[in-house]
Structure 1
């Protein structure tokens, strides 16, 4: 036997309308039933009160014993009362009061068979027809009993009319509830309708749109806020993905460009050496030298790319106390040997929060990687400034603020986010008295393969990976590498690291 399944309406609006209508219909039915029962009970109570308040006069009992009571005796009974007498033996007497043309109540011929108790009214059917009577038994003189009856035609007629009125009112109420419920539900779901329309436009490609109705006082408003927050995060994720793909395409193109030049040179001179029987000895030596030089250039570039990839994954750094003053001194000595054309001096950091003395300045990190940053900055200063330009190296401690270091500000560029304000930091500055950089170049200086002068070769400016590597190492140590520069005011590269605790 198959189970009969009732499929609910698929539309939320229809479910709400049907649910509200069903609940309201039940409420109306309950109230009508309660009113019907109360009204019928009240009418019966009125009849019972009339029955209890009526007492046949004493002469009527005497006339009943004599058999002289006439059923049509006028002026004896009020309204539609019927009175039936029972003698002292409990048998019904053949005399009564209040006879008319309507059939009377169906009552027994003896008191024992009446099934009535004194003072407790009951309802009985008429002798014929659909009429009903309300009867009440009471005791009279000389052990006689009397049954007083009133017809319930008025009560039944009133309740019947009320019942039909209730049916009509219920039908009208249901129709009104459906019509009004549709309007109320549509008005209540209007924010959802607007959200649906906006969501369709967003799915069609208009990603800048946001859902309306974000009032936190309503459930729909809170839903709109949550969805808007989700859409904003999705949009940011898409933008970051597009930016990442663009950086990757640019990175691959730049890497290919940087590798193509030395590779072409190696191929050309290799083909030339294959015809060495036609070349003089000095030209062969020059070809070998250029092949080795470009192979070394390719090796350095590949090593830089591999280092960048390693830093971009999960770099592993040693964690030990590092004296930045000693690192800076070693880097200055090495740079002085390889770059005698640029005077280099070492001194304390001057500015707010620094003591002005060249004491031990400690940070926690990898000494080899941190020294690599300082050497890279010194090499960058030598390569990109004219001979004779003085390079200043300053080491000290400070606190993060707009006027010192570690925070973003006018004329300052960094590839890393700013550090918390007031944070104690250890700082290494490498500043030069060169021509500086214009703002467009300064904003891109930490990007991979970026060079302020694209015509520079590896020997005159490098491939543009050094500052990217230095910035990645600094950020991996919880700090950042930043640049303060302006045309004609030189460049100040600043390595900012969290100060060592203790």
Structure 2
């Protein structure tokens, strides 16, 4: 067998075999040959097909990768754009479109939107807190200015009017003392509110509301109805102040007698304080607990409108509720509910 090259790419494979037939006295050589041109053509065609297939596969892979990566990175680009817009405008109401994909990108989108919700809530709370502080400072300044003006005027009168009568001088000194006491009470109330604003943490222990109320009332002319023990977990000093505030408020805005009922209703210990005054307008049921709020009928009375605000903070610190209403028989009623044990 032998191979002969016809061209650089085409060969002829030749094979010769001798044979003979003694019975026929015949002998010879058989020569067979085959060109590799057909095989070369098939190989070249196959190479072309493989090359084109590789090109097509590469292009398809690149296109599919571009599409998939574009879809996968779209939320990330949106995240970056939203972050830039929030940084530039401060608009925390912006949100990423919710993702239906149950993967890391979907989890990232949900986490980012949740973070924006928390930031928006925190900013809203901070803005409201700053507004309340500014209003508080303005109201406190106003309340302090009134007694200071009175004290200054009377001090000026005493300094400039040496010829004033003994009665006028005594009245001026008495008024200075009264306004000084008013300022002292106001400062005490402001300090109490400052402590409640600092997240009041009452020292709660088991106590009997009925017995505590009897201690507050003492031998006064208050009508107290507290026949049975009412046990709650509470801070004795804070609840003592709460009851005292409600009593002072009833005395200041109503006519005697002040009536107090202490009882247990379901799972709550309830204190109800009623006065016999003009009562409240419906729109005042909630407003009376605002800081420095005073009903028009009480403008000429002592007090700065802080007592009920302090009372509300004490009740809230005990996970309770306080409400104001009018009694069917006349006068206002303030009800406190505390979790009973």
Q: TM-score range by the shorter chain?
A: 0.7 to 0.9
Q: State whether residues 429 and 492 of structure 1, in contact with CA within 8 Å, keep that contact through their aligned partners in structure 2.
A: yes
Distance of aligned partners of 1:481 and 1:130 in 2 relative to their CA distance in 1, 3 Å threshold: closer
Give the Cα separation in 1 of the matches to 2:175 and 2:106.
Answer: 70
Deviations 1:307-331 (A, max 9, x none): 2222332546444432211222233
| Structure 2 unaligned blocks of 5 or more | 21-29
Distance of aligned partners of 1:497 and 1:211 in 2 relative to their CA distance in 1, 3 Å threshold: same
Matching residue within 447, 453, 467 for 2:296: 453
Matches within 5 A, 1:470-481: 470-476=311-317, 478-481=318-321
Deviations 1:345-402 (A, max 9, x none): 2225xxxxxxxxx2221223332321211111111112122x25x5331112233xxx
1:183 Cα deviation after fit: 4.7
Deviations 1:26-72 (A, max 9, x none): xxxxxxxxxxxxxxxxxxxxxxxxxxxxxxxxxxxxxxxxxxxxxxx
| Residue 366 in structure 1 maps to residue 235 in structure 2 | yes
Query: Which residue of the partner structure matches residue 236 of structure 1?
Result: 121
Give the Cα separation in 2 of the matches to 1:228 and 1:309.
Answer: 35
Give the Cα separation in 2 of the matches to 1:266 and 1:160.
Answer: 114
Give the Cα separation in 2 of the matches to 1:463 and 1:496.
Answer: 25
1:482 Cα deviation after fit: 0.9
Give secondary structure in 2 for the equivalent of 1:394. Answer: strand
Deviations 1:252-284 (A, max 9, x none): 001111111111111111122113422111111
Question: Relative contact order: is structure 1 or structure 2 higher (C-alpha 8 Å, sep ≥ 6)?
Answer: 2
Distance of aligned partners of 1:220 and 1:286 in 2 relative to their CA distance in 1, 3 Å threshold: same
Query: Which residue of the partner structure matches residue 163 of structure 1?
Result: 47
Distance of aligned partners of 1:369 and 1:194 in 2 relative to their CA distance in 1, 3 Å threshold: closer
Distance of aligned partners of 1:258 and 1:383 in 2 relative to their CA distance in 1, 3 Å threshold: same
Query: Which residue of the partner structure matches residue 105 of structure 1?
Result: 3
Q: State whether residues 325 and 361 of structure 1, in contact with CA within 8 Å, keep that contact through their aligned partners in structure 2.
A: yes
Q: State whether residues 437 and 487 of structure 1, in contact with CA within 8 Å, keep that contact through their aligned partners in structure 2.
A: no
| Residue 427 in structure 1 maps to residue 270 in structure 2 | yes
Distance of aligned partners of 1:364 and 1:136 in 2 relative to their CA distance in 1, 3 Å threshold: farther
Query: Which residue of the partner structure matches residue 499 of structure 1?
Result: 340
Distance of aligned partners of 1:134 and 1:270 in 2 relative to their CA distance in 1, 3 Å threshold: farther
Query: Which residue of the partner structure matches residue 345 of structure 1?
Result: 223
Q: State whether residues 393 and 428 of structure 1, in contact with CA within 8 Å, keep that contact through their aligned partners in structure 2.
A: yes
Distance of aligned partners of 1:274 and 1:435 in 2 relative to their CA distance in 1, 3 Å threshold: closer
| Residue 441 in structure 1 maps to residue 284 in structure 2 | yes
Q: State whether residues 318 and 365 of structure 1, in contact with CA within 8 Å, keep that contact through their aligned partners in structure 2.
A: yes
Query: Which residue of the partner structure matches residue 393 of structure 1?
Result: 260
Distance of aligned partners of 1:198 and 1:426 in 2 relative to their CA distance in 1, 3 Å threshold: same
Query: Which residue of the partner structure matches residue 464 of structure 1?
Result: 305
Query: Which residue of the partner structure matches residue 248 of structure 2?
Result: 379
Give the Cα separation in 1 of the matches to 2:239 and 2:14.
Answer: 113
1:197 Cα deviation after fit: 5.4
Structure whose CA Rg is larger = 1
1:250 Cα deviation after fit: 0.4
1:234 Cα deviation after fit: 0.9
Distance of aligned partners of 1:491 and 1:153 in 2 relative to their CA distance in 1, 3 Å threshold: farther
TM-score by length of 2: 0.81
Q: State whether residues 435 and 487 of structure 1, in contact with CA within 8 Å, keep that contact through their aligned partners in structure 2.
A: no
Give secondary structure in 1 for the equivalent of 2:283. Answer: helix
Higher mean displacement: 188-197 or 155-164: 188-197
How many equivalent residue pairs?
330
Distance of aligned partners of 1:128 and 1:299 in 2 relative to their CA distance in 1, 3 Å threshold: same
Matches within 5 A, 1:35-114: 84=1, 104-105=2-3
RMSD of aligned residue pairs (Cα, Å): 3.5
Q: Which has the higher helix share?
A: 2
| Residue 264 in structure 1 maps to residue 149 in structure 2 | yes
TM-score by length of 1: 0.57
Distance of aligned partners of 1:362 and 1:135 in 2 relative to their CA distance in 1, 3 Å threshold: farther
| Structure 1 unaligned blocks of 5 or more | 1-83, 85-103, 107-125, 337-343, 349-357, 400-423
Distance of aligned partners of 1:172 and 1:319 in 2 relative to their CA distance in 1, 3 Å threshold: closer
Matching residue within 316, 322, 334 for 1:482: 322
